[in-house]
Structures are given as structure tokens and as C-alpha cells.
Amino acid sequence: MSRARVFDRLATLLLWAAGLGTLVILAAFLIRILGQGLPYITWDFLTTRSQAMKAGGGVGSQLFNTFYLTGLSLLFSLPIGVGAGVYMAEYAKPGRFTDLVRLSVEALASVPSIVLGLFGMILFVNTMGWGFTIIGGALTLSLLNLPTLVRVTEETMRSVPAIYREGSLALGATRWQTVSKAVLPSALPGILTGVTLVAGRAIGETAILIYTAGVTASRHMGDLNLFNAGETLAVRIWYVKSEGLVPDADAIAAGTSALLLIVVLVFNLALALPLYLWQKKRMGR
Amino acid sequence: MLNRAYVSDKAARYLLWASAAAVTLTIVAILIFVGKEGLLTFADVNPFAFFFSPEWDPPQGHFGALPFFVGSITATLIALLLGGPLGLACAIFMAKVSPGWMRSVMRQASNLFVGIPSVVYGYIGMTVLVPWSRETFGGQGVGVLVAGMILAVMILPTITTVAEDAIRDVPGPLEEGALGLGATRWQTIWGVLLPAARPRILAGVILAFARAFGETTAVQMVIGNAPRLVPGLTSGTSTLTSQIIMEMGQTPPGSPWNRALFMMAFGLVVNSMLMILLVRWVSNRGVAK
């Protein structure tokens, strides 16, 4: 066998090792997180409120806040994010303004989340004087969602064939009728995928929320008050491991990590599965 | 004729334009708010001391942020050193070597890596890697090595995804030409595909750098949070992000200490803006010669 062939075999071997090695790393992470945490996830853990000093507290309020904050942040960021994406795909003409918006989207996407958190803190906690609130946290969190929503919407709208628009316009529809009735519905699955992506990140976000939504949660379960502090699951893990005083911090962190991972996975599946089936049905027609 | 369809068409155009403008407004507001708060530091602190003094002792009036800049850069470089080659190898594997089923497994794995929240990465680092590093290398265990290892895993999906797309998008005739001339698969990858995909791979690495540089929670949980110049791979130090998250809560707004933390945040923003411009410059330099 020539030297080149030996190298080729060797490289193939190493590339397989890299691929398999990555899978092993992932498996080790998952086994560790679930193996350590699952035993702590009991009905009580999921439904009782947390303790500040004593052992045995649950994460019921934090579980609720995680969904509440993520939902609210989507409520704020979806109209603007999709709106801006539609504008970039359907209306924007090449020029200064379009370049500026595109640069802004890239810039916003690259701003570290801790900086977004500090910005939210200046704006909502200090300037508005709200203190640590769910609404302040959700508004700041929506800044994290925004650039991804714009980018995904623009990309999916662009991938809709031009003939959809031409057909609609030829029938005398206005631009907005064309966009809203012919293009947007075809782009919906892609936009929904973007929403899953964004929500998954929002569910696990910590740095943005610590100084906007705070590290305490309401003592009442399912408290909808927007001006309460709203600690989430992810923030809870950070708090008990770095500053908290509860004696069972390790148990809480392990249980909450496993719970958070399950929430992210279930959430991805819950949105990805119907989408997959729907697309399959459309393709079948 | 001014009918309803016409009016809503006009209204929609303005609303969509306003949404796009809102994105620009947001980033401008962030730059102004964080920048103003940060630059006010220099009303009380000598800029030279801020950037080049290693002494951080705010109660005593020492605001040297050098240790945090050095800590951030060191941890990020370790992450690239560990995660870069592995990510690139995975990308080559997925694009050119792996059978289809393995590729979909790897894709799902990549999505899972992205889905794990950073605080969970930090928690794993804290409970698995820090004790491991303490036993293996002695010392405290916490520090830039473990931080770099955790960051390496976190940037893996970024590098792999971008590099795989880049390699996959190299025009087929280039690859066929090399294979037709009798080159082995590895010679083709190394000599033709990688050079052709280099600008975009480089862009991916820069994005990964930006992401690791700005990561907060995961790093803070394993870095040791000691405000001093990196003393070694496995001794406590601190980064820009970890120092901000640790101290922001205990400083009154408007104090020099508070402003110094905002200046560090502004440093993070400036860095990410530079990275974006760098990505644009790298990707515009065209494909292989």
C-alpha cells in the first residue's frame, strides 16, 4: 500500500473517532445529568415552593415562571421579529437602510446575553423603577429572541417560490394581501421551527434574567402578577450553586438540571413532531 | 380609489418598516446606554490603570480590569484550541465520510448540545470537571482549563454546523477533478476541499470565539472568581463576564465600581461588534484562488 493510501485510511479512522467521540461526550453529559437528577424529581419537588434557608424546598414556582417568562418574551418579540423579517424579505430594497438593519440584526445576535441583561437592568429595574419583575425579565429576554426570529423569517420567506407572489399580484391583490395570504402561510412551518429554537434558548437563559427578573419567586403558585420577581429553573440552579444558603443545594441543582433538560427536550419534540407530520402530509399531496 | 385593501396595504408597509427600524433602534440604545454608563468610569478612574493595571480592589479605589480581559481571552483560546480541531473533524466527517444514518445521529446530537442550557454546562463543570482537574493536576481545580473545556463543548455545534455547510458547498467539479486525478479521499479533503472552504470555516471559528467570549454563567461557575491575573491553568481567576455577574448586585448604580463593571460590559459589546466586522471581512475575501 502506498503512503497516500495509508494516510487516507488513517484519516478516515481519525474522523470516525472524532464523530464517535463527540457522541460519547454527549452521552456522558446526558447520563450524568439525568442519572444524578431524576431521583430527586418527585411530585412534591415539582409542585411545592422553594425554601430560602431550609432543605426540602421544591421548584414549583420556578417551573411556572420558566414557561410564563418564555411565553411572554415570545409574545413581545414575535410581532416585531416576524414583522422585521417580512420587511427584509418582501419590501426592503437594496440601500443604506436595508444594510443598516441587516448589520443591526447581526450585531444584536452577537451581543452577549449578560450585556442584554445589564441593558434591561438600566432600563426596567433602575430607570422605570420597577425593581426585579417578570415583565422586565420578559422584555429583556425578547431582545435575545429578536435577531433569530428576524433571520429565520427572512430566510423562509425568501425560499417561498416567486410564482406564489406573481399569481396573487396578477389577480389584483395588493402587496400586503399577497404577503399575508399567499407567502406567509407557506413560510409558517419554517417560522415555527425558528420559534422552537428561540424558545429552547429562552427556557435555559440565566445571564439575562438574574438582574432583571431576579432570584426570588412568588410564594403563591401560578402567580400571574407581572410585577413580581420571577426566578426561573435555570436561574434557580445558578443561584443555589453560587449564592444560595439552602443546605440541599446539590440535590436541588441536580434535580432542576434534569428537569430543565427534560423540559427543553419535550418542548422541542412537542413542536417538531406535529411540524414533521404536517410537512409530510403536505408533501404527500 | 381609497378602499380598505389599499389602506391596509399602506398601514402594513409602515408597520413592517417600523419593526425593522425597531431592531436598529434596539442595538443603538444598547450601545448608548451601556457605553455611556461604562465610559463615565473614566471620570474617576485613569483609563490606563483600567486597561493595564492587574490590581482590582474597588473598595480601595483600585480598578485594574486587566485580569478579566486576560482571563476571558485565555479561557476562550483554550476553548478554540480544544473545540476547534474536534469540531472541524466532526464537520469533515459529517460532510464527506459518514454514512447517512450516522449523519442524522450527529445532527440530532448537535441539536442536543445546543439545547443543553449553559447553567447546566456550568453545573457539570462544577461537579465533574473541577474535581477531576483537582485530582489530576492538584491545586484548586477551578480556573481557565476547566472553563476552556466547558466552552469547547459549548462551541462545538457552532463550528461543526458552519464548517460542514462550508465543505458541502464547495463546487462538485473541484472535488471530482481531484479524485479523477487519482488523489485519495483524504488528499482531496486536505488539498482541495478545506482550502476552498477556508473563508467560511474561519468565519465559523470567529463566531465561536465571540460566543465563548460572551458566555457568562457556565464560566462563572468553574472559573474560581478570584480577581487576579491568570496564575495557572488550574487556579482560580476571573473573566469579564464572571466578574460582572458576581459583583453587579452589590454595587450601587452610579458608583465608580458599578460604572467600571459597565465599562467591562461595553468592552464585551465592542469585542462582539469587531467580531462581526471580522466575519464580514473574512467571508468577503472570496473562495480559493
Per-residue H/E/C for chain A: CCHHHHHHHHHHHHHHHHHHHHHHHHHHHHHHHHHHHHHHCCHHHHHCCCCCCCCCCCCHHHHHHHHHHHHHHHHHHHHHHHHHHHHHHHHCCCCHHHHHHHHHHHHHHHCCHHHHHHHHHHHHHHHCCCCCCHHHHHHHHHHHHHHHHHHHHHHHHHCCCHHHHHHHHHCCCCHHHHHHHHHHHHHHHHHHHHHHHHHHHHHHCCHHHHCCCCCCECCCCCCCCCCCCECCHHHHHHHHHHCCCCCCHHHHHHHHHHHHHHHHHHHHHHHHHHHHHHHHHHHHC
- Model confidence pLDDT, tens digit, residues A249-267: 888 889 999 999 999 888 8
pLDDT for position B226 = 85
Q: What does pTM read for this prediction? A: 0.91
Q: Among all residues of chain B, which has the CA nearest to that of A23?
A: B109
- Choose among A15, A19, A83: nearest Cβ to B15: A83
Q: Give B23→chain A minimum CA distance, Å.
A: 6
Of B35, B54, B78, nearest in space to B264 by CA: B35
Q: Mean pLDDT check: name the lowest of A128-132, B154-158, B163-167, B207-211.
A: A128-132
pLDDT at residue number A47: 82
Asked if the C-beta of B167 comes within 8 angstroms of chain A's C-beta atoms, the answer is: no
Mean pLDDT over each residue of chain B, to the nearest integer? 90
The pLDDT-based confidence of B6 (bands split at 50, 70, 90) is confident
Residue from B68, B110, B119 to probe the interface with A (highest A Cβ count within 10 Å): B119
Percentage of chain B modeled with pLDDT above 90: 57
Of A14, A90, A265, the CB nearest to B115: A265
Amino acid at B94: M
Q: Which of A26, A177, A266 to mutate to test the interface with B (most CBs of B within 10 A)?
A: A26
Partners of B9 on chain A (C-beta within 8 Å) are 174-177
Supply the CATH classification number for the domain B50-283. 1.10.3720.10
Residue with cell 447546566: B120
The better pLDDT of the pair A246, B64 is held by B64
Query: Which residues sit opposite B224 in a β-bridge?
Result: B237
Which span out of A222-231, A265-274, B66-75, B251-260 was modeled with the highest average pLDDT? B66-75
CB–CB of A7 and B33 under 8 A? no
**Does residue B286 or residue A113 have the better pLDDT?**
A113
Residue A268 has pLDDT above 80, yes or no: no
Residue B206 has pLDDT above 90, yes or no: yes
Question: 3.40.50.300, 3.30.300.30, 1.10.3720.10, 2.60.40.10: which CATH number matches A43-284?
Answer: 1.10.3720.10
What is the domain partition of chain B in residue ranges? 50-283
Lowest mean pLDDT among A48-57, A159-168, B191-200: A48-57
Domain ranges of chain A: 1-40, 43-284
**pLDDT top residue among A36 and A58:** A36
| Predicted pLDDT of residue B288 | 43
User: Residue B32: is its pLDDT beyond 60?
Assistant: yes
Query: What pLDDT shows up at residue B289?
Result: 41
Q: Please determine, for residue B221, whether its predicted confidence score (pLDDT) is greater than 70.
A: yes
Reference B262, options B30, B27, B28, B24; nearest CA is: B30
**B119: nearest CB among A106, A107, A238:** A238
Q: What is the ipTM of this complex?
A: 0.91
Chain B residue with minimum CA distance to A29 = B124
Q: Do A112 and B213 touch (CB under 8 A)?
A: yes
Could you read off the pLDDT of B83-121 as tens digits, one per residue? 999 999 999 999 999 998 999 889 888 888 988 999 999
Contact criterion met (CB < 8 Å) for B33 and A122:
yes
Residue A64 identity: F
Mark yes or no for CB contact A114/B241 under 8 Å: yes
Interface check A259 vs B, CB under 8 A: no
In chain A, residues with a C-beta closer than 8 Å to the C-beta of B27 are: 104, 107-108, 111
Mutation site, B26, B28, B86, B241, interface A, largest A CB count within 10 A: B26
pLDDT of residue A182: 87
Residue of B nearest to A235 (CA): B119
User: What digits encode the pLDDT tens for the residues B261-272?
Assistant: 999 999 999 999
3-state secondary structure of B56: strand
pLDDT tens, position by position, B10-22: 888 899 999 999 9
Q: Does B193 touch chain A (CB under 8 A)?
A: no
Q: So what's the pLDDT on residue A3? A: 85
Phi first, then psi, for residue A188 (nearest 5°) are: -55, -45
DSSP B96: I
Give the mutation candidate from B16, B93, B278, B284 for the A interface (greatest A CB count, under 10 A): B16
Give the number of other Cβ atoms within 10 Å of residue B97's Cβ: 20
